[in-house]
Amino acid sequence: MANSLVQFRTDDASKIKAVNICEQLGIDLPTYMRMCISRLIQENGIPFSMKLDEKSESRALKAMKSASRIAEEHGISDMSLEEINAEIAAARKQG
Residue 52 confidence (pLDDT): 67
Q: Is residue 54 assigned to a domain?
A: no
List the domain range (segments joined by +) for residue 77: 59-94
Residue 32 confidence (pLDDT): 93
Taking a C-beta distance cutoff of 8 angstroms, is the pair 22, 32 a contact?
yes
Q: Measuring CA to CA, which residue among 81, 29, 22 is closest to residue 52? A: 22
Q: Is residue 34 assigned to a domain?
A: yes
Residue 53 confidence (pLDDT): 66
pLDDT tens digits, the chain, 95 residues: what are they? 788 999 999 999 999 999 999 999 999 999 999 998 998 898 888 877 766 666 666 777 788 888 888 888 888 888 888 888 888 889 899 97
Residue 54 confidence (pLDDT): 63
Q: Is residue 32 assigned to a domain?
A: yes
Q: Is residue 52 assigned to a domain?
A: no
Q: Is residue 48 assigned to a domain?
A: no
Do 38 and 63 fall within a single domain?
no
Q: Is residue 74 assigned to a domain?
A: yes
Cα gap 33→37, rounded to integer Å:
6
Taking a C-beta distance cutoff of 8 angstroms, is the pair 39, 47 a contact?
yes
Q: Measuring CA to CA, which residue among 46, 77, 51, 48 is closest to residue 64? A: 77
Domain count, the chain: 2
Q: Is residue 4 assigned to a domain?
A: no
Q: Is residue 79 assigned to a domain?
A: yes
Which pTM does this prediction carry?
A: 0.49
